[in-house]
Structure 1
């Protein structure tokens, strides 16, 4: 929807006027700034070398450089952005060995009623090519903890698996799943791993599991939202000396939001962001190629300059100084009725 002065209220007409001046002065040929790009990680083309069935509806994919060159190094907890042939962009944890610089391994659970990304990944075959970005780490493994408790649920084992190897005898793994046949990488776990399934043990006592963490332990939890929420509610009550580290595989839900208008200054296009959607989701409806990655407010890939309007900052990255005139569109919103962005 294009802003039309005749239909717009006074506030938006003022924003539109400011936008017109901006386009004439700042976005003139040779003066326009390029879209923000990530400041860490790498963009690479890779080949799918192998596809293996790891469990019911779970496959692993081994990725290599076409010429066999070494891949960027990574640490436990790292993930890749994967750009699919359809244009979809997804994030997958690296679950191989950091010492192996010739190949990456990721795992994907097929979600039949999802938005199509996992189904497309399951359609890949050896020889197919992909574009990847990364590795990047937002789930950092603390190497000097006195002890570790790892709690993985379902596909949440993927970032946890390299951590378990790195922790060695200092770590304890509790791995939850519906049934053993749905749980990938069982044959790669240490002998002392505690495997608990719904069909064998019934509902899982998350608080009881966390109570086994030693004083000062680093506790890592990865799984569906109910598991993460239970850990966040109970760990520090049970063990106030522990540290909690979590990772989720989906964007945070929008809460306490309201509708607002976003104007993209470089084109003059305006779009309405709903109360339950992110600014990024609204922008992608009119600019599908806008850059983004984590969708959780920690990586900074979607950082954009704000030309007009107040921002409700909800990110975990920007400093107070950075927030003066910038926002992360994947989580932050307007603290008013409208924003004008440098897009």
Structure 2
């Protein structure tokens, strides 16, 4: 599913809360500061299928929602695997997973959903920084399955902090491992200089890495680069600082949205709640179709072409350029 396309119904989701529960069946160390979770349905039943690039929402104590990329075997029908980096300056989600979550515990889960899909290409260049390797792993497995040419440039602070090196070793010289303490920052220009026409570049990692690769790839054909961010991309001020109206076509309600109030909040206060998770424009949960008006896109998901088309918006962060927006809600 491409970003900008509306999420299909998720069979894992509870119709009222948007969440189901999965049980932790294994918790394993993967690297310094990284642990892996294997999750299964409490009854051991089949889980919804997923595609490379998909993530799960984990609902942790304190009403903390965190998104983690699926990195296991997508053909395994009964378990999901995610990897969690301990974030010392985070808001407590990763610390809970590392310090308190145990085998047998049950966690709330939403998804899987995919805002970072692998699209067909003649060849792929994958670039991963740190825990950004997680969505790339199933992409590599899929490229292998299709017989598509690919290479991976993978960086991290130290070799010991980089997860899945043993799993990647099987791919030989198609994988370039570049810990920062040994090689410095990733040489993106060198990696991209050898990219042949028809190459799709997929990059996931910390913000500075994504900012740098977006600059370097600016001259490539549109759609050549696809990125996924774990934290929101910095945004400038909204297009307008005055109120606007949102007409909810299916609900027959029009709600005013004053400055400082999100469309998501205004909709909920009007009795038209929308399923949401990150509230930062990074997870894609709250995507809503736009029937009329011009959105002020403030998410970190849509491509420039999708923003220009204006067919949908993420109501947790995006606003309006026009006096009135009409949404299919």
Equivalent residue in structure 2 for 1:117, among 75, 78, 93 = 93
- Quote the residue 1:234 is aligned against: 216
Q: Give the 5 Å matches for 1:233-272.
A: 233-237=215-219, 240=221, 243-257=224-238
Residues 284 and 213 (structure 1), Cα distance of their counterparts in 2 relative to 1, 3 Å cut: farther
- Structure 1 unaligned residues grouped into runs of 5+: 1-36
Residues 256 and 80 (structure 1), Cα distance of their counterparts in 2 relative to 1, 3 Å cut: same
CA displacement at 1:85 relative to structure 2? 2.8
Q: Give the 5 Å matches for 1:303-342.
A: 303=288, 312-314=295-297, 316=302, 328-335=314-321
- Measured in 2, the distance between the counterparts of 1:304 and 1:233 equals 30
Equivalent residue in structure 2 for 1:137, among 105, 114, 128 = 114
CA displacement at 1:142 relative to structure 2? 2.3
- Quote the residue 1:301 is aligned against: 286
- CA offsets 1:80-105 (integer angstroms, 9 cap, x no match): 11111321111110000111111000
Q: Which has the larger radius of gyration?
A: 1
Scaled by the length of structure 2, the TM-score of the pair is 0.75
Residues 118 and 273 (structure 1), Cα distance of their counterparts in 2 relative to 1, 3 Å cut: farther
- Measured in 2, the distance between the counterparts of 1:172 and 1:164 equals 9
Residues 230 and 115 (structure 1), Cα distance of their counterparts in 2 relative to 1, 3 Å cut: same
Root mean square deviation, CA, Å: 3.9
Residues 88 and 262 (structure 1), Cα distance of their counterparts in 2 relative to 1, 3 Å cut: farther
- CA offsets 1:16-39 (integer angstroms, 9 cap, x no match): xxxxxxxxxxxxxxxxxxxxx964
Equivalent residue in structure 1 for 2:125, among 149, 159, 167 = 149
- Quote the residue 2:162 is aligned against: 183
Equivalent residue in structure 2 for 1:97, among 61, 70, 73 = 73
- Structure 2 unaligned residues grouped into runs of 5+: 1-5, 14-19
- Measured in 1, the distance between the counterparts of 2:327 and 2:216 equals 40
Residues 117 and 281 (structure 1), Cα distance of their counterparts in 2 relative to 1, 3 Å cut: farther
- CA offsets 1:193-236 (integer angstroms, 9 cap, x no match): 11001111123221222222222112111111221122221125
Residues 342 and 120 (structure 1), Cα distance of their counterparts in 2 relative to 1, 3 Å cut: farther
- Measured in 1, the distance between the counterparts of 2:52 and 2:176 equals 20
- Measured in 1, the distance between the counterparts of 2:85 and 2:230 equals 12
Q: Give the 5 Å matches for 1:76-91.
A: 76-91=52-67
Residues 297 and 312 (structure 1), Cα distance of their counterparts in 2 relative to 1, 3 Å cut: farther
Q: How many pairs align?
A: 297
Residues 270 and 231 (structure 1), Cα distance of their counterparts in 2 relative to 1, 3 Å cut: same
